């Protein structure tokens, strides 16, 4: 009996010493990208620093969990057989690709279906908890938790030309100035704005022109929220030309910003403008 108790004490002391030899530091971007698939592409999303203070290498497995701020489980990463990390003496740095690998995360109910539709978590506050275990499942570090917030994106609002604004053909023939607001987002980096203008043909609805026609203007503006178009089109041949314009916004990696699963193209609400010719149309 005494031998069993002594053996148990030795095992406890051994694991306490093992735990003291490995420590972790977790850094999480407080406002990470909306799409979880983008986390691995950005070096500043999640960083885990594991410090091995022992003289030799140590083998560990990683356990991570995402919860809402209220404690509801969103996703859990259970250590997968065969995926073992070797920590040499000193510091080893892991990124989001290691800490939150999507192909190894088990998402709960509604979060799973939402992720499949949009690639995103709902807006709100969350926690990420990470700990390292031995290959046999014995905890080697205390769990470390950090908070983060998933914020929404507000796409640019188009305000010039405003909706159904008439433009004199003489002026429009020289230049048309487009203006819009900045995208409101949680991540750093300079966005790019893809300005597209489509002509609405006679007997065609504006939405049809947006979906079916080739753009008469298709240009990418990086960072700026204004563009002056100098059309190479003839506006004096009829009394009226109708156009519809919109903006598609991408981040610095070329990924489209989107607000909901109903707007996956990152397209701002379009506006229509009409070029009017007060002079009599030219006759052939």
Domain limits, the chain: 2-150, 158-276
Using CA atoms, how far apart are residues 220 and 193, in angstroms rounded to an integer? Answer: 5
Q: What are the backbone dihedrals phi and psi of residue 235, each rounded to the nearest 5 degrees, phi first?
A: -105, -5
256: closest CA among 230, 220, 229?
220
158-276 CATH fold: Immunoglobulin-like (2.60.40)
151: closest CA among 254, 270, 29?
29
Torsion angle of alpha carbons 5, 6, 10, 13, nearest 10°? 70
pTM as predicted: 0.59
The pLDDT score that the predictor gives to residue 256 is: 80
Digit-by-digit pLDDT tens for the chain (284 residues) are 444 444 444 444 444 444 558 999 999 998 888 778 888 888 789 999 999 998 899 999 999 999 999 999 999 987 765 689 999 999 999 999 999 998 888 998 888 888 887 788 888 899 999 999 998 889 999 999 999 988 777 889 999 999 999 999 888 888 999 999 998 775 667 899 999 999 999 889 988 999 999 999 999 999 899 999 998 777 766 778 899 999 999 888 787 876 655 555 778 999 999 998 875 555 54
The pLDDT score that the predictor gives to residue 135 is: 84
The pLDDT score that the predictor gives to residue 144 is: 96
Kindly give, in sequence order, each residue whose CB lies less than 8 Å from that of residue 82, ignoring residues fewer than 6 positions away. Answer: none
Q: What's the CATH class of domain 2-150?
A: mainly beta
Angle at 50 between CA 49 and CA 52, to 5 degrees: 145
Distances in Å between the Cα of 175 and the Cα atoms of 15, 166, 189, 210, 275 are 75, 14, 30, 22, 12
Q: Are 2-150 and 158-276 in the same CATH fold?
A: yes
Using CA atoms, how far apart are residues 68 and 92, in angstroms rounded to an integer? Answer: 28
The pLDDT score that the predictor gives to residue 198 is: 96
Using CA atoms, how far apart are residues 53 and 64, in angstroms rounded to an integer? Answer: 22
The pLDDT score that the predictor gives to residue 233 is: 74
- As given in the structure block, the two tokens for residue 23 are 């420590």
Q: What are the backbone dihedrals phi and psi of residue 101, each rounded to the nearest 5 degrees, phi first?
A: -75, 120
């Amino acid at each position: 009996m005494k031998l069993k108790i002594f053996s148990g004490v030795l095992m406890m002391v051994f694991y306490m010493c093992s735990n003291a030899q490995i420590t972790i530091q977790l850094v999480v971007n407080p406002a990470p990208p909306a799409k979880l698939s983008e986390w691995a592409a950005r070096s500043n999303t999640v960083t885990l620093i594991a410090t091995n203070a022992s003289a030799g290498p140590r083998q560990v497995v990683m356990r991570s969990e995402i919860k809402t701020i209220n404690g509801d489980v969103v996703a859990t990463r259970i250590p997968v057989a065969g995926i073992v990390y070797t920590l040499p003496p000193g510091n080893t740095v892991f990124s989001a690709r290691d800490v939150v690998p999507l192909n190894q995360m088990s998402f709960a109910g509604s979060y799973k279906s939402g992720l499949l539709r949009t690639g995103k978590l709902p807006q709100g506050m969350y926690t990420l908890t990470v700990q390292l275990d031995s290959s046999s499942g014995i905890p080697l570090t205390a769990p470390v938790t950090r908070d983060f917030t998933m914020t929404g994106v507000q796409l640019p609002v188009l305000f010039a030309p405003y909706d159904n604004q008439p433009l004199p053909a003489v002026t429009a023939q020289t230049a048309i100035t487009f203006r819009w607001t900045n995208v409101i987002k949680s991540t750093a980096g300079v966005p790019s704005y893809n300005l597209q203008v489509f002509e609405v043909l006679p007997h065609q609805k504006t939405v049809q022109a947006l979906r079916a026609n080739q753009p008469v203007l298709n240009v990418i503006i990086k960072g700026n929220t204004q563009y002056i178009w100098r059309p190479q089109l003839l506006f004096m041949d009829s009394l009226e030309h109708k156009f519809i314009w919109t903006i598609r916004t991408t981040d610095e990696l070329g990924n489209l910003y989107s607000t909901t699963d109903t707007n996956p193209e990152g397209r701002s609400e379009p506006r229509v403008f009409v070029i009017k010719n007060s002079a009599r149309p030219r006759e052939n």
